[in-house]
Structure formats: structure tokens, C-alpha cells
Structure 1
Amino acid sequence: MSRPEHGTTLPAYKRLQKLDQMWNEFLSEVPTEERWLLLQTVYTSATRRALLSTLPLTDGGYVADLGCGYGALVFDLASLYPVHIWGLDRNHEAIDACRSFEALARQAGALHPSSVLEFTVTDVTTFELPYPMDVICARFVLQHLREPEKAVVQAARNLRTGGILCLIDVDDGLSLAYPPDPPALSTVKTKLIELQFTQGGDRTVGRKLASWVDQAGMDVVQTLVLPTSRYQSTPDKRTKHVLLAQWQARRKQLIESGIVDEVQFQKLMDQANLEETGPQFNIQTEIAIIARKA
């Protein structure tokens, strides 16, 4: 557990600015195969923070983030609110990085001085927390699980009566792009989705969230569709950068699963690097479900 250090406190907006600055610095310093996740953290901060004001966070409240990865949501919450937050993930490397980043963020004054953070390596379908939680969040994690319903049930068990569960995830059936991506980039996306499917994942998980919450005995109190649309008149280098970083990180898994061989992998990487991506109209959609434990 890291305890807060009291001293001069930056305003909330400056703490978030400091946090964003630190993510960019941290990105260049931390070697990891999951670099694409860190890139995504930097590039999606506005979308990630859009829902925070809907969560009933109180001073000293207990909050957990399931599948926290490198801690993007955890650190946003800890920057803004005086809460006690648990970040849970099965990835040892990610949890170690969270702990290192927390020490730096605390020293830089990027976190609320009364926030407390704990990071734990655990399976989000079987986890146990030391206290009943006021709020539990799971963002972009259920799409990767073979048995996501178990994570929802376990979250319900770890909430206090009246506690809130916030689930946010994708549904590719509600996303589109026109004109379509160039051939190699389109194939890279398709192969990554195929890999996710073979590992038990589901890119249409968004439409199923409310049903799982209901089956877990919770009351759905709010449903939200969070579309992000834009027209990109020039090449979208950031999205391409994240995609190809993810492709590189998944090289071994793609080849071992037989989705591509070594020659195909490198050929697609080379071709995708050369392709231009704009102009394009794009809609990416997230589904959010907010539920209360009866």
C-alpha cells in the first residue's frame, strides 16, 4: 500500500496535466512488449475520463479497477479524488509498472494527496478484496475473457449493498469506417481480431453487458452508448502506430496459433507501414452499463 504524502496540492486540472506529461515520459522509458497499451493510454485520455463524473465517488470511498493494465483509469481516479483504489490485473509486468509509475506520480504531485493505491496480481474472475467496494469498474477487460460472466458475478460479490458496478467495453457491430482501411492494415486488424477470438475473446461484448449484470442479481440503473466520430483528412499516424505496435507485440502468438507464418507476418508489417490511411470517416463505439447491488 502506498500512503499519501501531504504537502502543496496542485489543482485537479493541473494534476491531470501533470499525469499526461508523465505518461508520455514513462512511455519512452519503459521497455515492454505491451507498448501499444501504453500508447493507447496516452491517446485515449479524453474518452476514458468522460464517464468519471457519473460515478458516485465519496471521500475515502473504496474503488476497484478490474483488469487495470498499466493503470490509466486508476491514476485518473487517484488524481481527481481522495479515494482508496485497488488496481487488479493478472499481468505481473503491468502491475510492477503501475507501482513504479505511482511512486513517480506521487512525487510529482500528480495524485490527490489523500488518495491511496494498491496494486494486486490476480485473476478478475476469482479475485477477493479485503473490504466491500463502493464502486467497481471494468473497462475493456471483459472482451478478452473466456468467461466474462464470472468476472461480473465476482464483482457483484465484492460490492457493498448499494455499491455501483461500471462496465465499459466495445461492440464492433456499432463501429464503422469509410472508405475502408487499405488492404494490409485491414488484414492486420482482421488477424488480431481472429487471435482475440481464438483466445476466448469477444469483440461484440458490449451488447451483452446488461444481461450479465442482470443475471448477477444487480439492478441496471443506466445504459450509455459512447460513440467517438471523426473525419480524418490527413493520415492517422497515431491509430496506425498503436495498431502496428500491437501487431508486433502479438507476433509470437499469431505465429504459434497458425494465423500467420513468419513470412506473412513480416510482409504484412512491411506493407502496412507503407500504406497511407486518410482521408476517412470513422466511428468507434463503447457501451457503458452502470448497475447497483440490491
Structure 2
Amino acid sequence: MVSNDYVHGYSEREASRLCDQANTLEELLHSDTKYPAGSKVLEAGCGIGAQTVILSKNSPGAQITSIDISGESLNLAKKRAASEGVKNVEFSVENIFDLPFDEESFDHIFVCFVLEHLKEPVKALSNLRRVLKSGGTITVIEGDHGSCFFYPETEEAVKAWNSLIEVQARLGGNSLIGRQIYPLIKQAGFSDIAVSPRMVYSDSSRPHMEEGFVRRTIIPMVEGVRENAIETGILDADTFDRGIEDLHRTAAEYGTFNYMFFKGVGRK
């Protein structure tokens, strides 16, 4: 099942954050994701299309079907794709647990930042395996909030960060899922599995990462759970706000920030 709420919300700011994240991490996460011309690719959980545009650019000859459970997000994805001149993608509102496609319909499947929001990730992967051709591949990318460490590290900053983890857990998701990519893919019945960690490191010598990842991706992601964290008593408003202030210091002259993504590929 999909968790009751998307932990980051569907605001315009969240849409901008997702695009900033995709653009900043394009080389790190997607430089080795390219599909042959003529192959049929299913992107499961495309959201607003931030990753879709990159997939299309990397594999212009592939036929991509991008699905999402949110019609609102899919409309944004269509607009984004049109603005970027994307020609090889079809969009459809679908549920990952109730796919309308025949067995062995796709040569490849791509899943990015989706499993963390699902209560039954193995079931989702197993269902995707059904529509994958024999010998076809699945690519899964997830972050792991437990891999995060930064300087300066204050008690308030750590509490603000951990509130994000707890809010997502209460909504039925798992923001620590990155470390589970290998066992999840294996439990879903795939073979030839290879998982590679992709570390993001930021300091003032890397202003692109400070701006694109820390200020425009990480901090807005934490800020997005402020209301929920306060209302549920996870954290009081003053502590949360001081934590956000301290997280901004990690993107200042003497700050550093580290985070780990995991990319797994398996074969049917």
C-alpha cells in the first residue's frame, strides 16, 4: 500500500525542490542509466517528472511509460516534459500495486525515490517484476536519512533532521530504506543484483552542492515536515526553527554536509 500522505506534500515549493534535487544529482545518480533505442521502459512513480526528463535525455530512442498515482503530479510532469521538448514519454495515472499492463510488457523498469513512501516495498517490486520481460532489468534508487552527517552538528539540528525520519515513519514510509535496497530486490525475486552507494559531499569549495543540494534540496525537505512534527509533539516550534537555522550553517563557509544514496540494479 501507498502511505496515506506523501510526507513532503504537493506544494509548488516541493515541486521546485524535486527539480533542484534531480538537476543537482543528475551526474551522480543517472550518468550510468541509459537504455537502448527501441526498448520499452516503465518509470514507476514519476511524480512531477523531475527524473523523467533526465531519463528521456539519456535514452532518446527508448519508449518510456511514466506512471504515478497522483493525477496532480502527473499533470505537472506532462507540463515539465513538454517544456523540455520530451517526445518519447507517455504518462498515465496508475497504482503500482494494480498495474494494468500485461506480463512481460517492458524491457526495463526504473524506480527512483518511491519505495521509501510505500508500506509494502517488496510487494511493489514483485508486482513490477510481473510486467518485466525475462532478462530485463530493474533499477532502484533510494536515499537513506540515517546516512546523514554534517558539521557543525548541534543538538537542535539533529533533532530537526530526526523529526523528518519520525514523521515519515508515522505516515507509513521508511526514510532509512536505502540500506535495504539489496535485500528488497532479492526478496522480490530478482537476480544478478548489484548495489552501489553514491555519496554526496558538500563544503564551500563546492558551491553547486551547497546551493543545489543543502540549501535547495535538504533544508526545504526538513522544513516541509515542520507543521506535522510540531502538531504531533515530535518537536516544539522553537527547537525545530533553531535546528533549521543550524542546518543552514552546514552550507556556510566552514560547514560540511554528507549524505548517501543507494542505486541497485537487478535482473529478472
Q: TM-score, normalised by structure 2?
A: 0.79
Quote the offset at 1:95 in angstroms: 0.6
Q: What is the CA–CA distance in structure 1 between the aligned matches of 2:118 and 2:262, rounded to whole Å?
A: 17
Q: SS of 1:232's equivalent?
A: coil
Q: How many residue pairs align between the two structures?
A: 251
Structure showing greater Rg: 1
Q: SS of 2:184's equivalent?
A: helix
Q: Counterpart of 1:201? A: 173
Asked if the contact 1:227–1:283 (Cα under 8 Å) also holds between the matched residues in 2, the reply is yes
Q: What is the CA–CA distance in structure 2 between the aligned matches of 1:69 and 1:33, rounded to whole Å?
A: 12
Q: What is the CA–CA distance in structure 2 between the aligned matches of 1:35 and 1:250, rounded to whole Å?
A: 13
Decide which of 33, 36, 39 is 2:17's aligned counterpart: 39
Instruction: Flag the 1:252–1:271 CA change in 2: closer, same or farther, 3 A.
Output: closer
Instruction: Flag the 1:184–1:93 CA change in 2: closer, same or farther, 3 A.
Output: farther
Quote the offset at 1:152 in angstroms: 0.8
Aligned pair 1:65/2:43, yes or no? yes
Asked if the contact 1:125–1:148 (Cα under 8 Å) also holds between the matched residues in 2, the reply is no
Quote the offset at 1:237 in angstroms: 5.3
Structure 2: which amino acid aligns with 1:176? Answer: F
Q: Is there any run of 5+ residues in structure 1 with no aligned partner, and where?
A: 1-31
Q: SS of 2:175's equivalent?
A: coil
Q: Counterpart of 1:99? A: 78
Q: Counterpart of 1:230? A: 202
Quote the offset at 1:190 in angstroms: 1.8
Q: SS of 2:95's equivalent?
A: coil
Instruction: Flag the 1:51–1:271 CA change in 2: closer, same or farther, 3 A.
Output: closer
Structural mapping, 1:276-291, within 5 Å: 276-277=249-250, 278=252, 279-291=254-266
* Bigger shift: residues 147-156 or 129-138: 129-138
Quote the offset at 1:210 in angstroms: 1.5
Q: Is there any run of 5+ residues in structure 2 with no aligned partner, and where?
A: 1-9
Q: What is the CA–CA distance in structure 2 between the aligned matches of 1:191 and 1:157, rounded to whole Å?
A: 36
Quote the offset at 1:100 in angstroms: 1.6
Q: What is the CA–CA distance in structure 2 between the aligned matches of 1:58 and 1:194, rounded to whole Å?
A: 40
Q: What is the CA–CA distance in structure 2 between the aligned matches of 1:53 and 1:132, rounded to whole Å?
A: 25
Quote the offset at 1:54 in angstroms: 3.4
Aligned pair 1:88/2:67, yes or no? yes
Structure 2: which amino acid aligns with 1:195? Answer: V
What is the root-mean-square deviation in Å for CA atoms of aligned residues?
2.9
Q: What is the CA–CA distance in structure 1 between the aligned matches of 2:147 and 2:21, rounded to whole Å?
A: 21
